[in-house]
Amino acid sequence: MIDALTTFVSVATAGSFSKVAKQEGVAVSSITRRIDWLESSLGAKLFSRSSRRLVLTDAGERFLPRVRGLLADLLEAKEELISPNAEPRGPLTVTAPSVFGRRFVAPAVIDFLAQYPLLEIDLHLSDTVVDLTAQRVDVAIRLGSLPDSDLVATRIAPLRRLVCASPDYLERKGRPLAPTDLMQHNCLTLSSGLAPADWWRFEGVNRNRALPVRGNLRTDDTDTLLQAAVAGVGIVHLASWLVSEMIVAGRLVTLLPNAQPPKGGSSAIHAVRMPGRSHSGKASLFIAHLRKAFGEPPYWERGLSKGQRRAPAR
Q: Which domains, and CATH codes, for the chain?
A: 2-82 (1.10.10.10), 90-159+266-299 (3.40.190.10), 161-255 (3.40.190.10)
Nearest to 18 by CA among 64, 63, 65, 51: 51
d(CA 42, CA 62): 13
All residue ranges of the chain with pLDDT < 50 are 82, 306-307, 309-314
- pTM for the model stands at 0.69
CB 312 within 8 A of CB 175: no
d(CA 70, CA 112): 25
pLDDT at 290: 96
Amino acid identity of residue 163, one-letter, is V
Amino acid identity of residue 265, one-letter, is G
pLDDT at 313: 38
**DSSP structural state of residue 184:** G
Longest CA–CA span in the chain (Å) reads 85
pLDDT > 90: percent of the chain: 44
Q: Contacts for 37-43 with beta carbons within 8 Å, 24 or more apart?
A: 37/4, 38/1, 38/4, 38/5, 38/7, 38/8, 41/1, 41/4
With a CB cutoff of 8 Å and minimum separation 6, the contacts of 248 are 303, 304
d(CA 149, CA 4): 30
H/E element, 70: helix 58-82
**What's the distance, CA 30 to chain centroid?**
43
CB atoms within 10 A of CB 77: 12
pLDDT at 278: 59
